[in-house]
Amino acid sequence: MAEITVVTDDITTLEVDAVVNAANPGLRGGGGVDGAIHRAAGPSLAEECRALMSRRAPLDPGEVVATPAGDLPARFVLHAVGPVWGAAPPHVQDEQLAHCYRRGVALAADLGCRSVAFPNISTGVYGFPKDRAAPVAVAALREALASRPEVAEVVLACFDEENERLTRAALA
């Protein structure tokens, strides 16, 4: 099975095949990880997102789509729309969050990626409880990696020490 590592680092600087963006439903860029990825990738990422969204409705929680990565060291950005905490029953939101990680691994594999970096999806402004998100993410990744062995490395790029601690505990 793939190696899962946990770091507290800037996801935009990681040398992986794909980075996952904690995106909003319209892929418009924004704050947090989303804003950082859009700034680091340059204007071509916003252009790719606009073109993609001109052909479809906004994404639902749990959906993941890919674009080229612009100026990032990665080849692709996988835009995952996580749930906004409180918008649905907790068990539904757990499944939506898990789907972001499972679909992220599957899409990375479909694109020929051997390495992918994920942020702590939905644990920032979307308010998903960090202590609930970490075990959901780890379980979903383990499940996805078991069926997609071509993805050899997953980096969980935590924004803060609390997410890093909780994610490491979930991996133990």
**SS3 at position 126:** coil
**Helix, strand and coil in the chain, % to nearest 5:** 45, 20, 40
| Alpha helical stretches, state H, the chain | 32-41, 43-53, 90-110, 130-147, 161-171
Note whether 156 and 118 are within 8 A (CB).
yes
Contacts (Cβ under 8 Å, ≥6 apart) of 73:
13, 14, 15, 16
**SS3 at position 124:** coil
Whole-angstrom CA distances from 47 to 29, 69, 72, 80 are 11, 11, 15, 18
The pLDDT of residue 30: 86
Q: Is the pTM of this model over 0.85?
A: yes
Whole-angstrom CA distances from 145 to 56, 76, 152 are 29, 19, 8
Q: Which of 34, 71, 94, 131 is catalytic?
A: 34
Q: What is the pLDDT of residues 37-56, one digit of tens each?
A: 999 999 999 999 999 999 98
* Distance (Å, whole) CA 58 – CA 68: 19
Active site residue 34: yes
Length of the chain: 172
Note whether 76 and 17 are within 8 A (CB).
yes
The pLDDT of residue 121: 97
Per-residue pLDDT of the chain (172 residues; tens, 9 = 90+): 788 999 999 999 999 999 999 999 999 988 899 999 999 999 999 999 999 999 988 999 999 999 999 999 999 999 999 999 999 999 999 999 999 999 999 999 999 999 999 999 999 999 999 999 999 999 999 999 999 999 999 999 998 999 999 999 999 9
The pLDDT of residue 1: 72
